[in-house]
């Protein structure tokens, strides 16, 4: 029996939590122990890295940061601590428009060159054995084997991150991972420790809005945007800097699942996304993304109503348009999953000359963390010699020995300067990597968050108000679901106090769904701005009306008309889609006496695996299937997930008549083939409020 909940538990204000301006958050009093390093040194601030000045670079001397991140990086072996479940593919990048006026990097200046690459997609929170379709951020990492060395763009399918400072990353992941005393839930954020942490860290709420949106439930890895998240610098031949953010835009548009659909897919096919990527490449339907950049100067950045060095902030495309300059095509699946997908090692510190880092404190922590975690996971500083990680351009270093050394250096010198072997590689001041010559203002180093990082609500407000009504309903419903799994009452209350600052309607909808009263709004650290709406952050409007990349399931049985099946198959394929034949049995004899092999049995291929469904069955088969629960679910789920349905007379008489399916404009008879093809290119979102209770 559950204990009685107490809504009177104290709600922490923003003054008491991860604040700004260098003020201490929690003071250890009475019996509360001090937080210390592993050496027993009391930690004064566990929220901010040590920086040269509030907006300056993070300092290497920060032993608290290094100990915390290093320990975190070595917590698990051998799978990745985060992004453990992933899949990847080989392909190429081709530049279509040169950025020669901004950078010397050949990958961004030489058009028409096809540079080989490897891309890995992943979920964040789950382990290697978790499912493909949880509500989660998706990793989007690209390793380009450029002529000037490897370039890793290590990003996500969301343009912002949860935290502003890398020192908080271990805490974020500890909070979202299975709770340590019980070992669950797996690959899920709907539990107390996650919401306790984020409700005490208001900087997380922008990424939370994305996590509760449809972006967290991609229909396919081929239908995700990718973002580099951080601001980087491009450097021209004179050392002049231009800030840049990197974007990958899918040619198939951004498309997502419905939550109920994602839950059912996880049971029917936990490998749904990786199977989709594999099959699309096998069919020659190669996934493709446009590569774009947002370019802006220091002077332009100073006029933004936010700090672009804050990783919890995006730069609206309406403010700085995305300039498309290239494309990525994935055309080959790995020959061996372990050797390539599991052993590939991405590090944001891998970049060619002509590209440099900004002073983003989260990025600075990642520059250390990714290298350190590869050393732990792959067991050797020689991980760069593994074929999937090795550069495809000439390379040479003076690194010596180490576990799993696979190179055999010749000669007697592995140091520099040296004069014994004049032909050995040495540094090149002309061609070597150059960092931006940043002028440093006099400042006071300390564990302090820049005041320009203090606004935690304006962009989440912009995100929510930019969504379509259907998407707003999905976000509110997702918050209600997640918080409905939280047992601790004051954590739910504290979360609602933040939602009020984002949008009153959102807070009301979530509170009503939970049966809770709204608390007082949390105290903001900075004025909340009403920023212009940004349609570019929507999902449904970015989903193009087309059949390419979509799959139609056709239900057949004994005696089904071969001509009708072929008519539908040909029409779907002509429109760019693909087809799978589903039947009660794996072998089916059609009306002309031919026997075909179905792709799936109906019991093993629920309609959640398809974007639209067709039924071409005879009366005797329909009567039998009308008694089968999996068949009834096949049609009912397709309707509830707003998909197009094409039905034969027998299906209408014996199956649809038993179900609460309204024959709206997306439920059509077989004769209306052209109408079905048009409907199958999208979903009927107007149907959704009729079939499920949304917050």
Please answer whether residues 125 and 176 qualify as being in contact, where contact means their C-beta atoms are separated by less than 8 angstroms: yes
What whole-number distance in Å separates Cα of residue 144 and Cα of residue 91? 9
CA dihedral for 83, 548, 268, 194, sign (positive or negative): positive
Parallel/antiparallel/unpaired status of strands 232-235 and 241-250: antiparallel
- Would residue 156 show up in a list of annotated catalytic residues for this protein? yes
What whole-number distance in Å separates Cα of residue 135 and Cα of residue 195? 14
Please answer whether residues 655 and 635 qualify as being in contact, where contact means their C-beta atoms are separated by less than 8 angstroms: yes
Torsion region of 656: left, alpha or beta (phi above 0 gives left; psi -120 to 50 gives alpha): alpha
What whole-number distance in Å separates Cα of residue 689 and Cα of residue 470? 9
Total residue length of the chain: 695
Determine whether 550 is exposed, middle or buried from the number of CB atoms within 10 Å of its CB (0-12, 13-18, 19+). Answer: buried
185: preceding bond cis by omega (within 30 degrees): yes
- Would residue 382 show up in a list of annotated catalytic residues for this protein? no
User: CB under 8 Å to 686, separation ≥6 — which residues?
Assistant: none
Task: Quote the Cα angle for 498-362-318, to 5°.
Answer: 65
Tokens of 223: 């239908």
Please answer whether residues 347 and 378 qualify as being in contact, where contact means their C-beta atoms are separated by less than 8 angstroms: no
Please answer whether residues 679 and 666 qualify as being in contact, where contact means their C-beta atoms are separated by less than 8 angstroms: yes
Please answer whether residues 411 and 421 qualify as being in contact, where contact means their C-beta atoms are separated by less than 8 angstroms: yes
**Nearest CA among 641, 591, 662, 663 for reference residue 621:** 591
Alpha helix segments (H runs only) across 485-530:
489-502, 504-514
CA dihedral for 574, 579, 583, 589, sign (positive or negative): positive
What whole-number distance in Å separates Cα of residue 1 and Cα of residue 362? 43
Distances 143 to 2, 26, 115, 320, 688 between C-alpha atoms, Å: 49, 41, 10, 26, 40
Please answer whether residues 476 and 513 qualify as being in contact, where contact means their C-beta atoms are separated by less than 8 angstroms: yes
Backbone angles phi, psi at 356, to 5 degrees: -145, 175
Which residues lie across from 227 on neighbouring strands? 156, 247
Backbone angles phi, psi at 327, to 5 degrees: -150, 155
225 SS3 class: coil
Please answer whether residues 109 and 124 qualify as being in contact, where contact means their C-beta atoms are separated by less than 8 angstroms: no
Distances 147 to 115, 151, 152, 249, 615 between C-alpha atoms, Å: 8, 10, 13, 24, 53
Q: How many CB atoms neighbour CB 618 within 10 A? A: 17
Parallel/antiparallel/unpaired status of strands 288-296 and 241-250: antiparallel
Catalytic residue among 156, 207, 359, 389: 156
147 SS3 class: strand
What whole-number distance in Å separates Cα of residue 130 and Cα of residue 261? 17
Catalytic residue among 20, 48, 83, 382: 83
Largest separation between any pair of C-alpha atoms in the chain: 90
- Catalytic residue numbers read 83, 156
């Amino acid at each position: 029996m559950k204990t009685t909940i107490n809504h009177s538990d104290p709600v922490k204000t923003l003054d008491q939590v991860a604040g700004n301006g260098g003020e201490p958050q929690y003071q250890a009093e009475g019996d509360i122990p001090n937080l210390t390093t592993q050496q027993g040194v009391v930690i004064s601030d566990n929220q901010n890295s040590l920086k040269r000045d509030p907006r300056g670079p993070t300092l290497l001397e920060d032993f608290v940061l290094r100990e915390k991140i290093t320990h975190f990086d070595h917590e698990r072996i051998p799978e990745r601590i985060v992004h453990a479940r992933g899949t990847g593919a080989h392909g190429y990048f081709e530049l279509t428009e040169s950025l020669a006026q901004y950078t010397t990097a050949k990958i961004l200046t030489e058009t028409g060159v096809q540079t080989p690459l490897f891309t890995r997609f992943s979920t964040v929170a789950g382990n290697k054995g978790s499912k493909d379709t949880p509500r989660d951020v998706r990793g989007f990492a690209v390793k380009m084997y450029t002529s000037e060395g490897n370039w890793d763009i290590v990003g996500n399918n969301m343009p912002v991150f949860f935290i502003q400072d890398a020192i908080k990353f271990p805490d974020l992941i500890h909070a979202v991972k299975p709770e340590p005393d019980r070992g669950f839930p797996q690959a899920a954020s709907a539990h107390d420790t996650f919401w306790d942490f984020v409700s005490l860290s208001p900087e997380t709420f922008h990424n939370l809005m994305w996590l509760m949106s449809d972006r967290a439930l991609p229909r396919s890895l081929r239908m995700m945007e990718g973002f580099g998240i951080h601001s980087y610098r491009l450097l021209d031949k004179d050392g002049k800097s231009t800030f840049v953010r990197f974007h990958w835009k899918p040619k198939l548009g951004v498309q997502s699942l419905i939550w109920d659909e994602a839950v059912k897919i996880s049971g029917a096919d936990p490998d749904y996304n990786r199977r989709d990527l594999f099959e699309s490449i096998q069919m020659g339907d190669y996934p493709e993304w446009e590569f774009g950049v947002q370019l802006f100067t220091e002077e332009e950045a100073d006029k933004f109503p936010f700090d672009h060095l804050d990783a919890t902030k995006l730069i609206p495309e309406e403010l700085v348009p995305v300039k498309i300059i290239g494309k990525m095509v994935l055309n080959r699946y790995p020959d061996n999953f372990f050797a390539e997908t599991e052993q590939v090692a991405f590090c944001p510190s891998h970049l060619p000359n002509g590209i440099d880092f900004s002073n983003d404190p989260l990025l600075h922590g990642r520059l250390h963390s990714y290298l350190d975690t590869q050393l732990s996971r792959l067991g050797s500083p020689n991980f760069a010699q593994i074929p999937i990680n090795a550069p495809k351009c000439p390379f040479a270093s003076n690194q010596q020995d180490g576990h799993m050394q696979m190179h055999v250096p010749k000669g007697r010198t592995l140091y520099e300067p040296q004069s014994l072997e004049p032909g050995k590689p040495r540094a090149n001041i002309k061609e070597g990597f150059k960092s931006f010559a940043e002028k440093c203002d006099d400042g006071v180093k300390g564990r302090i968050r820049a005041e320009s990082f203090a606004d935690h609500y304006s962009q989440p407000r912009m995100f929510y108000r930019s969504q379509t009504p259907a998407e707003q309903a999905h976000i509110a419903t997702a918050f209600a679901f997640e918080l409905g799994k939280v047992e601790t009452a004051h954590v739910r209350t504290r979360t609602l106090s933040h939602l009020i600052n984002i949008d009153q309607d959102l807070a009301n909808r979530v509170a009503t769904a939970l049966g809770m009263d709204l608390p007082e709004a949390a105290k903001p650290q900075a004025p909340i701005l009403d920023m212009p709406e940004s349609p570019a952050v929507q999902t449904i409007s970015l989903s193009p009306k087309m059949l390419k990349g979509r799959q139609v399931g056709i239900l057949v049985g004994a005696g089904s008309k071969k001509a009708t099946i072929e008519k539908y198959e040909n029409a779907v394929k002509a429109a760019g889609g693909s087809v799978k034949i589903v039947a009660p049995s794996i072998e089916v004899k059609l009306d002309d006496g031919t026997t075909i092999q179905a792709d799936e049995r109906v019991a093993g291929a629920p309609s959640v695996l398809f974007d639209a469904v067709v039924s071409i069955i005879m009366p005797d088969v329909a009567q039998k299937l009308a008694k089968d629960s999996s068949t009834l679910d096949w049609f009912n789920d397709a309707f509830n997930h707003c998909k197009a349905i094409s039905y034969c007379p027998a299906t209408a008489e014996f199956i649809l008549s038993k179900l609460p399916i309204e024959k709206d404009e997306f439920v059509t008879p077989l004769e209306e083939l052209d109408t079905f093809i048009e409907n199958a290119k999208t979903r009927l979102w107007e149907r959704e409020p009729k079939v499920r209770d949304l917050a």
